[in-house]
Amino acid sequence: MIIAIATTGDTLDSPCDPRFGRAGNFLLIDSDTEEIIDTIKNPNIASGGGAGISTSQMLANRGVNAVIAGAVGPNSFGVLDAAQIAMYSSAGFSTAKDAYSAFKSGELKRISNPGSAGRFH
Amino acid sequence: MIVSVASGKGGTGKTTVAVSLAISAAPIALVDSDVEEPNANILLRADHSTSRKASLPFPVIDMKKCDFCEKCSDFCAYNGIVVLKGLKVFAVPEICKSCGGCKIVCPQDAISEEPRDIGYIKFGERLGIQIVEGELNIGESSSTPLVRMLPDYFPSGRDVIVDCPPGAAHPTVESLRAADFVLLVTEPTPFGIHDLEEALVITDELNKKVGLVVNRADIGTSDIENLAIERNIPILMRIPFSTDIAEHYSRGHSPAEFSEYWREQFALLWQKIEEQVR
Ligand code: SF4
Ligand code: SF4
């Protein structure tokens, strides 16, 4: 399985990024080998509306199976859900490593509802 | 002549002024472009004779033709269309602006458009007023497209009064575009003045003739009067915070429908607007 963790930096010791669509970076971890297979600098940080959609599409097309982020907005939620990507909340965990170990031991909460709404005008 | 009635914010009595003016100036058309919360007809109480759906073209994808090239999603500046490789491609109603671009760039000719309903346009008539009301479906994120459609339904051969959405954002700008004259309804409070100044930024930019109606003119500050002199904007009407008019408000009545006095006052206001436009 490929897990994408939203972080503000680019290592496992980096803090979790509470944002999803405009998260600074994503660490892609292969949960079978426990290896970081990629570090993606999110190109959508500065994008206007719909950043979450674009970020979701990017991760889906990288073959990601699960994302770990602070909260997921309604648009991102819709796309991740359509792509059958599971969503987990990193809220309460300080580093990517902490959140990842919690994920491995089944302690991370599934995000089953979109959080903070983003409205576009 | 098209007169748009606007205010920097809600709750200044804008709709009451628009409906009262229409009653005094009838026969006339009244267009409610506050599509997120149309309430002119709460005052006018016309039965809707007809209504029609308002819709926008929305991309639908033929997955038999699509090869997941991502040209559509690369093109869309709004991120309104999603390509999930091997799975599906779909446009997102809340985000898509119906620009038609993805359909043009798709090399496989996989994208066509279908109408997507965003609301209604309703028609009715009472007291010699033809009312045209836009009503946005709940859950729609943007009212601008519907507001932009309304001028196509302005009845011909009649003057038109437009009840604009409150605020100074996109939908308000759109509802002012067609106006020959903009009537700004304001209150003599610091907030009122601040909102008025924001509204004036728009009317200046659109190069519109403007006049003021000061509501609750007998309370608050005289700063509005000073601003009007400074900016050379005529104050066309002052409505005192009288118990008489407050009673009409509280009953959900237009003062012009039930009071001879107010009917005359609003007829006078209409006359002054006509003089300003001439
Ligand atoms: S541009 Fe056309 S073919 Fe390419 S992904 Fe979009 S819909 Fe499919
Ligand atoms: S119609 Fe325009 S806004 Fe809508 S998805 Fe296509 S390119 Fe984006």
**Structural domains of chain B in order of their starting residue, each with its CATH number:** 2-54+119-277 (3.40.50.300), 63-109 (3.30.70.20)
Q: Using a CB–CB cutoff of 8 Å, tell me whether A43 touches chain B.
A: no
Q: Which residues on adjacent β-strands are paired with residue B184?
A: B6, B212
Could you give the CA distance from residue B214 to residue B237 in angstroms, rounded to a whole number?
6
User: Distance, CA B100 to ligand 1 centroid (Å)?
Assistant: 13
Q: Is the preceding peptide bond at B27 cis, omega within 30 degrees of 0?
A: yes
Question: Which atom, in ligand 2's list, is nearest to the CA of B101?
Answer: 7
Measure CA A80 to chain center: 10
Q: Where are the domains of chain A?
A: 2-110
Cα dist. B143→A49, B98, B113, B135, B175 in Å?
16, 13, 20, 9, 11
pLDDT for residue A120: 33
User: At a CB cut-off of 8 Å and minimum separation 6, what does A91 contact?
Assistant: A18, A70, A71, A109
Q: For residue range A28-75, what is the model confidence (pLDDT) as tens digits?
A: 999 999 999 999 999 998 877 789 999 999 999 999 999 999 989 888
Q: How far is B95 from chain A (nearest CA, A)?
A: 7
Q: What share of chain B is helix, strand, coil (3-state, %, to 5)?
A: 35, 30, 35
Ligand 1 pocket check for B112: Cβ under 6 Å: no
For A54, the closest of B79, B141, B169 (CB atoms) is B79
Q: Please give the ipTM for the structure prediction.
A: 0.84
Alpha helices in chain B (DSSP H): 14-25, 40-44, 71-75, 101-105, 144-149, 170-176, 190-205, 223-231, 243-251, 255-258, 260-277
Could you give the CA distance from residue B27 to residue B30 in angstroms, rounded to a whole number?
10
Q: Which protein residue has the closest C-alpha to ligand 1 atom 6?
A: B72
Closest CA to B21 of B5, B37, B45, B33: B5
DSSP single-letter state for residue A14 = S
| List of chain A residues whose C-beta atoms are within 8 Å of the C-beta of residue B80 | 50, 53
Cα dist. B270→B159, B173, B215, B266 in Å?
11, 23, 16, 6
Q: For residue range A65-102, what is the model confidence (pLDDT) as tens digits?
A: 999 999 898 889 999 999 999 999 999 999 999 999 99
List, in sequence order, every beta strand (DSSP E) within chain A. 2-7, 25-30, 35-41, 66-69, 86-89, 109-110
Q: For residue range B117-156, what is the model confidence (pLDDT) as tens digits?
A: 999 999 999 999 999 999 999 988 889 999 999 999 999 8
pTM: 0.80
Interchain CB contacts (distance < 8 Å): A and B: 58
Could you give the CA distance from residue B52 to residue B37 in angstroms, rounded to a whole number?
18
pLDDT per residue as tens, chain B (278 positions): 999 999 977 777 899 999 999 999 999 999 999 999 999 999 999 998 899 999 999 999 999 999 999 999 999 999 999 999 999 999 999 889 999 999 999 999 999 999 999 999 999 999 999 999 999 999 888 899 999 999 999 998 999 999 999 888 899 999 999 999 999 999 888 888 888 999 999 999 999 999 999 988 777 777 888 889 999 999 999 988 776 777 777 777 788 888 899 999 999 999 999 999 98
Q: How far is A13 from chain B (nearest CA, A)?
A: 31
pLDDT for residue A119: 36
A9 pLDDT exceeds 60?
Answer: yes
| List of chain A residues whose C-beta atoms are within 8 Å of the C-beta of residue B84 | 57, 60-61, 79, 82-83
Would you say B25 and B181 are in contact if contact means Cβ atoms under 8 Å apart? Answer: no
DSSP single-letter state for residue B27 = S
Domain A2-110 has CATH 3.90.79.10: no
Would you say B147 and B136 are in contact if contact means Cβ atoms under 8 Å apart? Answer: no
Question: Which atom, in ligand 2's list, is nearest to the CA of B79?
Answer: 8
Contact A57 B82 (CB under 8 A): yes
Would you say B42 and B19 are in contact if contact means Cβ atoms under 8 Å apart? Answer: no
Would you say A16 and A93 are in contact if contact means Cβ atoms under 8 Å apart? Answer: yes
The gap between the terminal CA atoms of chain A, to the nearest Å, is 37
pLDDT for residue B243: 66
